């Protein structure tokens, strides 16, 4: 979504105020001028997120080439994609890339990402997801602060409210999960796009992905870019595993507010205590990641959180078991990690 999209949607909101007599044209123009810089910042943040997504895609391109091929075939079958027109590789060219251990190029990945967002948005807009009250925050965050503060009710009643929420939700889902994420999860689980997006949104919130990615962004020009990419991919794997778990273990489609509220506090409580809970190989892995990241210049607070990604995934099971048994999450966690340490490693 570029500057023109933001400007149009802001003008739709303000024109409604003018039409209702709550604002003069002169006041509207003055307010528009004061928001120019913030609108530019909002657009640049979206551009930054897409560039980050492409950097992640490039890092995974060789390992996901088969998935990219299956996804392109799916888009072709559904009449959404003409590979030759978009200069995307044929199946023969993909076989050559596989033989060479290579993946799609960055421009090819950018084209595929665009098609992903377009087709997912077309599907989601016809579901009930954009109407979920929990997503109201996405709608308000789209607009500059002055509008959020003065005209919250008008934002809620925006004529393109559903379209804005859908666009923001799709951008966040694809930017964090990758172009093939939804396609792969549909293949694996048989869930609908709406169900997968609900589960991924919930997993991102439960595991605090946005806070992690904000912390990684703050390290621009302070640590190597490949270190930032590794952290983002670590967090992506955690969220993807969490998405699968939520799809397989909770009633579908998920209620966003209920799911996030149910898991967040317990997951955070156990995660904070991981260094005390882990034993044996799990603790060694945790310490190795922590040492690697701190040596690369990552602040200790962020390094501690990232080091716990692998061991944090079971917290979903732990919280669910705690609820069923009436135990505190920490009681279940202590038993779980003790058993994990006692279990023999697979040969």
- What would the pLDDT profile of 31-55 be if each residue is shown by its tens digit? 989 998 998 888 888 889 999 999 9
Region 10-37: mean pLDDT is 91
Does the structure show a pLDDT above 70 at 142? yes
For helices 25-34 and 3-19, angle between their N-to-C axes, nearest 10 degrees = 150
pLDDT band at 347 (very low <50, low <70, confident <90, very high): very low
Does the structure show a pLDDT above 90 at 307? yes
Beta strands in 116-225 (DSSP E): none
Does the structure show a pLDDT above 50 at 264? yes
Check: CB of residue 52 under 8 Å from CB of residue 175: yes
pTM: 0.93
Q: What is the pLDDT of residues 183-202, one digit of tens each?
A: 999 999 999 999 999 999 99
Give which of 183, 199, 194, 195 is closest to 245, Cα–Cα: 199
Query: Residue 346's pLDDT is what?
Result: 43
d(CA 243, CA 237): 10
CA distances from 131 to 6, 138, 152, 253 (A): 20, 12, 16, 14
pLDDT band at 2 (very low <50, low <70, confident <90, very high): low
Neighbours of 174 (CB within 10 A): 24
């Amino acid at each position: 979504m570029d500057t023109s999209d933001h400007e149009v949607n802001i003008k739709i909101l303000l024109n409604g105020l003018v039409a209702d007599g709550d604002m003069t044209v002169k006041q509207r123009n003055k307010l528009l001028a004061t928001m120019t810089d913030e609108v530019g910042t909002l657009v640049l943040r979206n551009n930054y997120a897409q560039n980050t997504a492409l950097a992640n895609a490039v890092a995974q391109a060789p390992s996901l080439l088969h998935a990219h091929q299956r996804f392109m075939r799916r888009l072709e079958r559904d009449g959404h994609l003409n590979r030759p027109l978009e200069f995307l590789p044929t199946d023969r060219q993909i076989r050559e890339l596989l033989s060479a251990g290579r993946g799609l190029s960055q421009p090819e990945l950018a084209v595929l990402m665009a098609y992903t967002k377009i087709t997912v948005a077309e599907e989601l807009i016809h579901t009930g997801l954009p109407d979920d009250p929990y997503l109201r925050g996405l709608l308000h965050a789209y607009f500059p602060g002055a509008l959020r503060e003065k005209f919250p009710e008008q934002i809620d009643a925006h004529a393109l409210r559903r379209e804005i929420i859908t666009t923001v939700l799709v951008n966040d889902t694809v930017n964090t999960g990758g172009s093939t994420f939804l396609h792969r999860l549909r293949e694996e689980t048989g869930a609908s796009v709406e169900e997968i997006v609900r589960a991924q949104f919930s997993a991102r919130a439960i595991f605090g992905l946005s806070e992690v990615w904000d912390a990684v962004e703050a390290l621009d020009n302070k640590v190597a870019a490949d270190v930032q990419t590794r952290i983002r991919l670590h967090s992506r794997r955690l969220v993807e595993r969490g998405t699968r778990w939520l799809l397989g273990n909770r009633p579908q489609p998920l209620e966003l507010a209920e799911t996030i509220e149910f898991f967040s506090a317990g997951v955070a409580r156990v995660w904070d205590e991981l260094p005390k809970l882990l034993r044996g190989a799990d603790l060694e892995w945790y310490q190795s990641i922590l040492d690697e990241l701190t040596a690369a210049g990552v602040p200790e607070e962020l390094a501690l959180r990232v080091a716990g990604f692998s061991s944090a995934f079971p917290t979903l099971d732990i919280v669910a078991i705690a609820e069923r048994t009436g135990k505190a999450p920490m009681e279940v966690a202590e038993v779980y990690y003790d058993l994990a340490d006692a279990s023999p490693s697979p040969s």
